């Protein structure tokens, strides 16, 4: 055994490599991104960024059937996108070990929503889930997941949360990488062809029903596995109130126990299905049980059902009945709950804190999106149009001071939503603003749908050649993939091939961008504007930028301190001091976009 | 033995480098170490809180619970105020007094609190510590990017939990040799700024 300080994501990657993983595929998303990047540093592992999570999962499915261990990596929103494949591979099962990493983000700290993918994977797809409580456990669970996946022929999922993915801790690991296996694909249509086929041998039953039965029968085997699992245990202590910690909820509970200063009866549960024997035993002599889990009351409801079925009368408290229903657990929530339940009191109503001025996210100084956003704002200010938004750095255009996009939902939703607004009869122009990585993720099919249905919208693709938001991962429109240099798939060429009228502009040139978007708007049908400029932060390091740098000066004789440059534009480098605009030289990257914002011409 | 440190600052202030130097130093000293960063709704130029926990026993949560931190280093006064409740009543803070205005305050949507207001808010919690203008001191040394090094030096002046020289050597091992002379000077300046107040 060796010992090293690792981030949770590094520990998961290390465990996968030690398990002989051959194929790793994912789509970038906080907090899971670095798992794929760590795997990519091992030459024997095929690693890729797929265009979306469904495809990543499908790639790993193909690898598993070819007798190679594989791992699909995604954040919770991605697991939603992959749900269709999930609901088929659960019925077919797998050949070589296949592990799904579905990272949740309690509190939505870096996400569009907060959700608990244990529901999707376990309650819905009936697949097993490990919920790690620490970095070390994430490592151990990943290794166990590969072994058990192969043994049970089922996809095993690891559901880490932000506080495991992005936490660092000391990890004991072996660093032994097994010998490579032989690739082998054995055709077995009865198993791997999911279709409404009549199964003669099963008395003429349809295959979906038969495979459903196979999956249901597997649950007994899984329950036996979890009963013996080293990831569930009981910590004995006297007391009528027992506490259950699930995953990171266990870490917060233990922290609270330390502060409270007295040993408590604790059941640590980190697997789904539950180890039912342990859960039933824990009820003995208890009047009340309090459960800490992220995010939804999944374990709480399963335990209530188990106790009901076994006629056990214990009060079960958790996120459904006692704790805050939304947001992230903390050690302090656990401590408050612990003190309140032991005192027989309700959980105190959380008090709203005093507002401390926020540091909102915005585009970096020098970002091409700021030019695009201000140009689009200019266009819709004049024509009363609506902009539907999408996921990416440009989504900060919805905040003060840009206030541009009217909607943000999930990946690729901007395009169908835009033409839905038109279909409903909205008579002014509608724009969909989408990034390049998101366009390849789930925008392509929406664009085809718009063109096919003869929509009248303008789609603006912010083409900066990287997935900037998650830390500059490449995508099909980039000059490289994870392994090598490629010839990029140019979004405008794709859109033109579909039949869209394609326009191009450099968003650093605001006047030109306004003109191009206005011209596109005037045309009928689906228009696509490619606003092309390299991500300053990513490519600027290598000296590649899409503007001619210039030092913008304020003409203090012309500047009357109106503040439009701050109030509507919001570049972090600009402030108003003593009623005059000031550009902080150390923050300014010389993009010059602000020049077109000042209507008095004070910025030169 | 258990020691909890949080560093509150703005993205780009070198918060993470400082926390890593301390974490690695604690590892070298044989402690069990856990760390993480919590970020507000802002990735770029946003609020960043680093947690470093080390102990000779097990550590469960990577996040320092409210009211448990032994030391809070505030690289920026508003960020220090935002997270001050993590500090234990018996803990100590070191706050860099130089503000970094927020975008919303620049736009006059929010009001960046005055020095006096922030002072009063911290005092109201009954907490003690030190205030130094580390940003100005870094500028005086010729580079504003030395602010985190000054704060790191200041940290070693108020606690002996890790030897000052070990922290400095760890920091130097993490940065390019051409910055070593300036880093040493900034580190010692931070220590002196605190010693002058002791």
> Which residue, chain included where needed, has tokens 């693709």?
A461
Task: Return phi, psi of residue A169, to 5°.
Answer: -160, 170
Asked if the Cβ–Cβ distance from B37 to A166 is below 8 Å, we say: yes
Q: How far apart are CA A66 and CA A270, in angstroms?
A: 30
Q: Flag whether residue A553 sits within 8 Å of chain B, measured between CB atoms.
A: no
Mean pLDDT of chain B: 93
Q: How far apart are CA B7 and CA B155, in angstroms?
A: 11
Confidence of residue B44 (pLDDT cuts 50, 70, 90): low
- Residue in A335, A359, A577 to test binding to B, most B beta-carbons within 10 Å: A359
Mean pLDDT of chain A: 96
Q: Cβ–Cβ contacts within 10 Å for residue A599, how many?
A: 9
Asked if the Cβ–Cβ distance from A356 to B81 is below 8 Å, we say: yes
DSSP per-residue letters across A380-443: HHHH--EEE--SSGGGGGGSTTT---SB--STTTHHHHHHHHHHTT--S-EEEEEEHHHIIIII
Residues of A in contact with B110 (CB under 8 A): 357-358
**Do the strands A288-292 and A241-246 form a parallel or antiparallel pair, or are they unpaired?**
parallel
- The alpha-helical segments, DSSP class H, found in A41-111 are 53-65, 76-81, 83-92
- The token duo for A142 is 């990943």
Q: What is the pLDDT of residue A386?
A: 98
Q: Flag whether residue A281 sits within 8 Å of chain B, measured between CB atoms.
A: no
Asked if the Cβ–Cβ distance from A259 to B68 is below 8 Å, we say: yes
Asked if the Cβ–Cβ distance from A359 to B102 is below 8 Å, we say: yes
Residues of B in contact with A251 (CB under 8 A): 60-62
Q: Are A150 and A97 in contact (CB under 8 A)?
A: yes
Q: Are A516 and A501 in contact (CB under 8 A)?
A: no
Q: Are A266 and A279 in contact (CB under 8 A)?
A: no
Confidence of residue A116 (pLDDT cuts 50, 70, 90): very high
Q: Which residues contact A123 (CB under 8 A, 6 or more apart)?
A: A298
pTM over 0.80: yes
Please return the burial class of A3, using the count of CB atoms within 10 Å of its CB with bins 0-12, 13-18 and 19+: exposed
Residues of A in contact with B41 (CB under 8 A): 109, 358, 360-361
The beta-carbon neighbor of B33 closest among A5, A252, A259 is A5
Q: How far apart are CA B3 and CA B22, in angstroms?
A: 11
Q: What is the pLDDT of residue B40?
A: 58
Chain A residue with the nearest C-alpha to that of B80? A356
Greater model confidence, B149 or A541: B149
With pLDDT > 70 as the criterion, what percentage of chain B qualifies? 97
- Residue in B2, B49, B62 to test binding to A, most A beta-carbons within 10 Å: B62
Confidence of residue B42 (pLDDT cuts 50, 70, 90): very low
Strand partners, A75: A103
CB contacts under 8 A, B 30-59 vs A, are: 32-47, 59
Asked if the Cβ–Cβ distance from B60 to A255 is below 8 Å, we say: yes
Is residue A144 scored above 80 in pLDDT? Answer: yes
Query: pLDDT for A355-412, tens place per residue?
Result: 999 988 788 899 999 999 999 999 999 999 999 999 999 999 998 889 999 999 999 9
Q: Flag whether residue B103 sits within 8 Å of chain A, measured between CB atoms.
A: yes
Asked if the Cβ–Cβ distance from A570 to B107 is below 8 Å, we say: yes
Residues of B in contact with A330 (CB under 8 A): 63, 65-66
Q: Which residues contact A470 (CB under 8 A, 6 or more apart)?
A: A28, A29, A30, A33
DSSP state of B144: G
Give the range among A339-348, A545-554, B32-41, B91-100 with minimum mean pLDDT. B32-41
pLDDT, mean of residues A418-430 = 98
Query: pLDDT for A484-524, tens place per residue?
Result: 999 999 999 999 999 999 999 999 999 999 999 999 999 99
Give the range among A205-219, A377-391, A522-536, A565-579 with minimum mean pLDDT. A565-579
As a three-state string, the secondary structure of A530-554 is EEECCCHHHHHHHCCCCCCCCCCCE
Query: pLDDT for A289-333, tens place per residue?
Result: 999 999 999 999 999 999 999 999 999 999 999 999 999 999 999
Q: Flag whether residue A576 sits within 8 Å of chain B, measured between CB atoms.
A: yes
**CB pairs < 8 Å spanning A and B:** 131
Q: Are A516 and A505 in contact (CB under 8 A)?
A: yes
Write down the ipTM of this complex: 0.94
Q: What is the pLDDT of residue B41?
A: 47
Asked if the Cβ–Cβ distance from A359 to B10 is below 8 Å, we say: yes
The beta-carbon neighbor of A252 closest among B34, B61, B144 is B61
Is residue B43 scored above 70 in pLDDT? Answer: no
DSSP state of A202: G
Please return the burial class of A2, using the count of CB atoms within 10 Å of its CB with bins 0-12, 13-18 and 19+: exposed
Q: Cβ–Cβ contacts within 10 Å for residue A550, how many?
A: 12
The beta-carbon neighbor of B44 closest among A109, A168, A362 is A362
Asked if the Cβ–Cβ distance from B46 to A332 is below 8 Å, we say: no
Is residue A255 scored above 90 in pLDDT? Answer: yes
Residues of A in contact with B10 (CB under 8 A): 359
Asked if the Cβ–Cβ distance from B107 to A567 is below 8 Å, we say: yes
> Which residue, chain included where needed, has tokens 């960024």?
A49
Q: Flag whether residue B174 sits within 8 Å of chain A, measured between CB atoms.
A: no
Please return the burial class of A475, using the count of CB atoms within 10 Å of its CB with bins 0-12, 13-18 and 19+: buried
Q: Are A397 and A407 in contact (CB under 8 A)?
A: no
């Amino acid at each position: 055994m060796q010992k090293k300080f690792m981030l949770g994501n590094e520990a998961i990657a290390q465990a996968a490599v030690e398990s002989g993983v051959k194929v790793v595929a994912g789509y970038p998303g906080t907090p899971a991104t670095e798992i794929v990047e760590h795997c990519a540093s091992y030459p024997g592992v095929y690693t890729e960024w797929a265009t979306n999570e469904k495809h990543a999962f499908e790639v790993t499915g193909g690898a598993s059937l070819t007798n190679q261990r594989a791992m699909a990596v995604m954040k919770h929103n991605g697991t939603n996108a992959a749900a269709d494949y999930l609901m088929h591979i659960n019925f077919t099962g797998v050949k070589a070990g296949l592990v799904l990493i579905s990272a949740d983000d309690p509190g939505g700290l870096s996400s569009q929503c907060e959700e608990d993918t244990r529901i999707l994977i376990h309650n819905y797809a009936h697949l097993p889930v490990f919920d790690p409580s620490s970095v070390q456990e994430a490592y151990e669970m990943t290794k166990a997941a590969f072994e058990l996946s192969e043994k049970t022929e089922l996809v095993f999922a690891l559901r880490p949360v932000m506080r495991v993915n992005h936490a660092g801790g000391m990890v004991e690991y072996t660093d032994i990488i097994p010998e490579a296996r032989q690739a082998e694909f054995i055709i077995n249509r009865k198993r791997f062809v999911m279709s409404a086929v009549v199964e003669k041998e099963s008395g003429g039953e349809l295959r979906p029903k038969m495979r459903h039965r196979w999956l249901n029968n597997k649950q007994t085997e899984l329950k036996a596995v979890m009963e013996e699992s080293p990831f569930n245990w009981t910590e004995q202590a006297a007391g009528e109130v027992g506490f259950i910690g699930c995953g990171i909820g266990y870490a917060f509970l233990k922290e609270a126990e330390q502060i409270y200063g007295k040993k408590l009866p604790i059941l640590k549960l980190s697997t789904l299905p539950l180890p039912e024997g342990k859960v039933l035993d824990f009820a003995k002599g208890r009047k009340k049980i309090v459960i800490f889990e992220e995010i939804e009351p999944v374990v709480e409801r399963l335990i209530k059902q188990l106790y009901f079925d076994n006629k056990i009368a214990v009060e079960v408290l958790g996120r459904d009945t006692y704790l805050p229903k939304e947001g992230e657990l903390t050690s302090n929530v656990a401590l408050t709950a612990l003190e309140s339940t032991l005192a027989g009191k309700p959980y105190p109503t959380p008090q709203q804190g005093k507002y401390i001025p926020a540091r909102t996210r915005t585009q970096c100084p020098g970002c091409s999106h700021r030019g695009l956003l201000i140009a689009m704002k200019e266009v819709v200010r004049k024509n009363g149009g609506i902009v539907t938004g999408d996921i990416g750095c440009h989504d900060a255009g919805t905040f003060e001071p840009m206030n541009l996009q009217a909607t943000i939902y999930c990946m690729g939703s901007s395009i169908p939503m835009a033409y839905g607004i038109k279909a409903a009869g909205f008579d002014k122009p509608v724009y969909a603003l989408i990034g390049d990585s998101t366009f390849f993720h789930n925008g392509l099919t929406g664009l085809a749908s718009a063109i096919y249905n003869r929509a009248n919208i303008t789609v603006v693709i912010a083409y900066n050649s990287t997935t900037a938001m998650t830390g500059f991962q490449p995508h099909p429109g980039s000059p490289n993939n994870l392994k090598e240099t490629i010839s990029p798939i140019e979004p405008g060429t794709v859109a033109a091939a579909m039949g869209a009228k394609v326009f191009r502009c450099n968003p650093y040139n605001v006047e030109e961008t306004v003109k191009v978007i206005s011209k596109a708007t005037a045309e009928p049908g689906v228009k696509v504007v490619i606003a092309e400029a390299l991500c300053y932060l990513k490519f600027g390091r290598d000296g590649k930028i899409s503007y001619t740098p210039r030092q913008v000066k304020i003409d203090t004789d012309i500047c009357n301190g109106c503040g439009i440059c701050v109030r509507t534009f919001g570049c972090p480098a600009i402030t108003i001091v003593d009623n005059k605009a000031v550009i902080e030289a150390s923050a300014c990257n010389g993009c010059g976009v602000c020049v077109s914002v000042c209507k008095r011409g004070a910025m030169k | 033995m258990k020691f909890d440190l949080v560093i509150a600052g703005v993205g780009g202030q070198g918060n993470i480098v400082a926390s890593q130097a301390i974490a690695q130093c604690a590892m070298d000293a044989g402690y069990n170490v856990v760390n993480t960063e919590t970020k507000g709704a802002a990735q770029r130029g946003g609020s960043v809180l680093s947690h470093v926990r080390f102990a000779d026993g097990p550590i469960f949560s990577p996040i320092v619970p409210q009211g448990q931190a032994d030391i809070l280093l505030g690289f920026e006064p508003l960020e220090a105020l935002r997270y001050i409740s993590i500090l234990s009543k018996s803990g100590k803070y070191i706050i860099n007094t130089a503000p970094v205005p927020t975008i919303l305050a620049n736009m006059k949507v929010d009001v960046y609190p005055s020095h006096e207001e922030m002072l009063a808010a911290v005092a109201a919690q009954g907490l003690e510590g030190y205030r130094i203008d580390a940003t100005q001191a870094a500028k005086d040394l010729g580079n504003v990017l030395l602010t985190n090094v000054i704060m790191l030096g200041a940290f070693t002046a108020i606690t002996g939990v890790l030897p000052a020289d070990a922290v400095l050597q760890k920091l130097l091992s993490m940065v390019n040799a051409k910055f070593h002379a300036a880093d040493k000077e900034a580190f010692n300046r931070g220590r002196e700024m605190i010693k002058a107040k002791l």
